[in-house]
Amino acid sequence: MERKMKSQSETVPEHIHRRPAEKVGPSFAIGERTLPRFHCCKGKFQLFGHYVHAQFLLLLAVELLLVTVASHFTLKAAVPWLYPADVPVPLRETLLASVLSLMAMVALGLYDTRQREQAMGIAFRMLSAFFLASLVLWAYYQINTNNLWDLKRHLVFLGTALPLLAVTRILFYRYIDGKVLLRRTLVLGTGKRARHIDRLRRRADKRGFHLVGFLAPRSCEAVHVDPARVVTAKEGFCDYSLSRNVDEIVIAVDDRRQKLPIDELLDCRMSGIEVIDAIDFFEREMALIHLDLVQPGWLIHARGFKRNLARDILKRSFDMAVSLVLLILSSPISLFTALAIWLEDRGKGGIFYRQERVGLNGEPFEVIKFRSMRPDAEADGKARWAQKEDPRVTRTGAFIRKYRIDEIPQLWNVLRGDMSLVGPRPERPQFVEHLVQLNPLYRERHRVKPGLTGWAQLSYPYGSSDRDAMQKLQYDLYYIKNASLFFDLLILMQTVEVVLFRKGAR
């Protein structure tokens, strides 16, 4: 029995049992090593399926607290000068105004980590957000007349909130953004897979992590990354990682058949360092499924791609309610659009345009749009991508495309059940057949209903080529994998920015 126990212990890597654990304050030490802590509060983390940035979530929470508290006490101090008699200070109304204002800021991309606007652009978007929030508040208080929120109170709120947010933003971009709450990342690999990470040079792409370097594996692997970023671990793989406070190790070796340093990776993992695959790294940092890295085995074992009956019922109910309300609210715009189309072509050609698209489970359906092209746009019957400055587009069509008015009739498709408010954009069967040949994963877009708007539309410019379609597929797969009601609401809110600032219109 003693000989058997000894032989079993010899099969365990020596570093697993050579150091007794010793509790030291709030962290734990193994020998001379200290475990990294608070990984979940660094970089990006998953919230209801979608990856959000810790820095910008902290900014949102701080701004909401500051604006609500500061505006409330400013209103409380200003009440004796605003009103002849002592009146209650509306804390609930101040909180509502703060929440609506920050929701409008979310909708206009002010918490988007890919935002590239300079100071003037950010200021313009902030003013636009408060204008939208003011319109919603005005409409709300036309119905709820409790006399606790009027123009004078709203002006005091704006006078407090706007300067406070401006100062907060200046401090955030100067001292916080891209400087704190970063994951320290070490990449195992120097080949072609690692090169994809080396190519992330824009500040927006690197907001969530700090690249410590690329570490060559034991197998001989060609160097396709910047040689200046290649590091060596003379003191040992795990000791090197711990001495440099590495939070995570990304496995990006080209040939998985070569032996990975399993013992050293296990030592790192048991010492508190996260170990992830390169495709998971890109999913978190770029919010996409990298097609050059994806493998069938990853798709089989990856979390996500789940069916949820309760979520499907809620999503369908939400789609029906919102599409019906939007159809009613947009009816005046629809009437003017129909009249403009009819007058421009003098009654020639239809007002609406019906076209076959591929929907859920590959089933075809007819999408309905306002006609924006000439009646003879595809007289030869050949399907073509829409191009920039497309000569087939009419004058009215150019305007309604710019502001997405041509998409309004698709609300009927949503109400009917052919589409959803959020999902991958439906494509024509001719394009789908061709794109599936380029990449079989393209058919996976049809696992969910197509949508009026989607993650790919927010994340990538208007596509008019096979390459664009493959780029957008990466975002569509990310949405399908991580679909949730929270993600849908976030996409709908950010679609406001697309419409108002005409992003991607063609």
**Strands 230-231 and 209-215, bridge-based pairing:** parallel
Q: Which amino acid is at 63?
A: E
Q: Which amino acid is at 69?
A: V
Q: How far apart are CA 152 and CA 137, in angstroms?
A: 14
- Residue 204 DSSP class: G
CB count within 10 Å of CB 194 equals 28
Q: How far apart are CA 84 and CA 210, in angstroms?
A: 57
Query: Which residue matches tokens 């079993």?
Result: 8
Q: Token digits for 342? A: 């009819």
**Which residue in 253, 279, 123 sits closest to 191, CA to CA?**
253
Angle at 409 between CA 406 and CA 410, to 5 degrees: 100
pLDDT given for residue 1 in this prediction: 43
- 451 pairs with which residues across the strands? 420
- 356 pairs with which residues across the strands? 366
Cα–Cα distance list, 37 to 27, 126, 273, 336 (Å) = 7, 36, 9, 59
pLDDT, tens digit only, all 506 positions of the chain = 444 444 444 444 444 443 333 333 334 444 445 444 556 678 999 988 899 999 999 999 999 999 999 999 998 888 788 876 667 777 888 999 999 999 999 999 999 988 777 889 899 999 999 999 999 999 888 887 666 788 888 999 999 999 999 999 999 999 999 888 899 999 999 999 999 999 998 888 888 999 999 998 877 778 999 999 999 988 888 999 999 999 999 999 988 777 788 899 999 999 999 999 999 999 999 999 999 999 878 888 888 888 889 999 999 999 999 999 999 999 999 999 999 999 988 777 789 989 999 999 999 999 999 998 887 666 555 666 666 666 688 889 889 988 889 999 999 999 999 999 999 999 999 999 999 999 999 999 999 999 999 999 999 887 778 999 999 999 999 999 999 999 999 999 999 988 888 765 55
Which distant-in-sequence residues (6+ apart) come within 8 Å of 505 by Cβ?
Answer: 401, 402, 403, 404, 462
SS (H, E, C) 65-101: HHHHHHHHHHHHHHHHHHCCCCCCCCHHHHHHHHHHH
Task: Spell out the domains of the chain, with CATH numbers in brackets.
Answer: 50-176 (no CATH), 182-287 (3.40.50.720), 309-376+384-500 (no CATH)
Q: How far apart are CA 424 and CA 196, in angstroms?
A: 25
**Strands 27-30 and 33-34, bridge-based pairing:** antiparallel
Q: Do 247 and 42 meet the contact criterion of CB atoms below 8 Å apart?
A: yes
Give 125-144 as a DSSP string: HHHHHHHHHHHHHHHHHHHS
pLDDT given for residue 117 in this prediction: 77
Q: Cα dihedral angle (25, 28, 32, 35), rounded to 10 degrees?
A: -120
pTM to 2 decimal places = 0.88
The whole-angstrom distance between residue 143's C-alpha and the CA centroid of its chain comes to 34
Q: Which amino acid is at 138?
A: W
The interaxial angle of helices 466-482 and 485-500, nearest 10 deg, is 140
What is the tens place of the pLDDT at every residue in 435-490?
A: 999 999 999 999 999 999 999 999 988 777 899 999 999 999 999 999 999 999 99
